[in-house]
Amino acid sequence: MRSIKVLIVGPFNAGKTTFIKTLAGLSMTTDVEVTSPEERRKKEKTTVGMDFGMVNIGDGYVVRLFGSPGQPRFSFMWRVLSVGAHGVIFMVDSSDSESISASVEEFKRARAQFGKLPIVVAANKQDLPQALKPEDVRFVLSVPPTIPVLPCIAIDKNAAWLVLGTLLEMVIGRKSG
């Protein structure tokens, strides 16, 4: 059985934990009550350590999904969680253009840190009417043409699978090539 490790990073409230829950179920999560009042307006729980879920994709492959915390004070977890990673999903909340604009530097940091790995941007929450389209997310984050920006709905298994599948093609293509 070959094992592929995928890391999911991105700002607070992007949908990282939800994505893993939908695709693989959460074998482990570290969501706790949100403390900051400003963030509490968005949701009640936040990841402070890691999420983990595992999914068997057939053909002798198992995918291990690792979700990072989104709050900047836990950004050191990127380095911890990325050990041995084969690919990275940078997830944003497309319905929250302020959050996307605020994560321009974070995306640059992701490229600097994971530049050698296959990476895709997931423009999440495409089910919401106000969601920015993937090409608008690409513009705001200045994503280069070599990195796919994919529509994502983390609460929908098929839509989430398309995102993971695109990254896995890049990973496996690279591995076997």
Ligand X SMILES: Nc1nc2c(ncn2[C@@H]2O[C@H](COP(=O)(O)OP(=O)(O)OP(=O)(O)O)[C@@H](O)[C@H]2O)c(=O)[nH]1
| Residue 24 binds ligand X (CB under 6 A) | no
List 124's β-bridge partners, or say none: 93
Number of residues that bind ligand X (CB under 6 A): 19
Check if the beta carbon of residue 124 is closer than 8 Å to that of residue 8. Answer: no
List 93's β-bridge partners, or say none: 124
Check if the beta carbon of residue 42 is closer than 8 Å to that of residue 12. Answer: yes
Of residues 15 and 172, the one with the C-beta less far from ligand X: 15
Q: Could you say which of 5, 12, 119, 171 contacts ligand X (CB under 6 A)?
A: 12
| Residue 94 binds ligand X (CB under 6 A) | no
Quote the least distance from Cβ 95 to ligand X, whole Å: 7
H-type helices in 28-151, by residue range? 37-40, 77-81, 97-102, 104-114, 134-141
Quote the least distance from Cβ 9 to ligand X, whole Å: 9
Of residues 63 and 99, the one with the C-beta less far from ligand X: 99
d(CA 137, CA 18): 20
Q: Could you say which of 13, 22, 30, 47 contacts Mg ion (CB under 5 A)?
A: 47
Q: Could you say which of 55, 127, 162, 166 contacts ligand X (CB under 6 A)?
A: 127
| Residue 13 binds Mg ion (CB under 5 A) | no
How far is residue 18 from each of residues 8, 28, 38, 132, measured CA to CA in Å? 11, 13, 21, 19
Which stretch, 2-10, 11-19, 89-97, 123-131, contacts Mg ion (CB under 5 A)? 11-19
Quote the least distance from Cβ 173 to ligand X, whole Å: 27
Q: Could you say which of 17, 30, 103, 124 contacts Mg ion (CB under 5 A)?
A: 17
Map residue 4 onto helix, strand or coil: strand
Quote the least distance from Cβ 67 to Mg ion, whole Å: 6
Q: Could you say which of 4, 7, 9, 14 contacts ligand X (CB under 6 A)?
A: 14
Map residue 34 onto helix, strand or coil: coil
Check if the beta carbon of residue 9 is closer than 8 Å to that of residue 90. Answer: yes
Provide the binding-site residues for Mg ion, judged by CB under 5 A: 16-17, 47
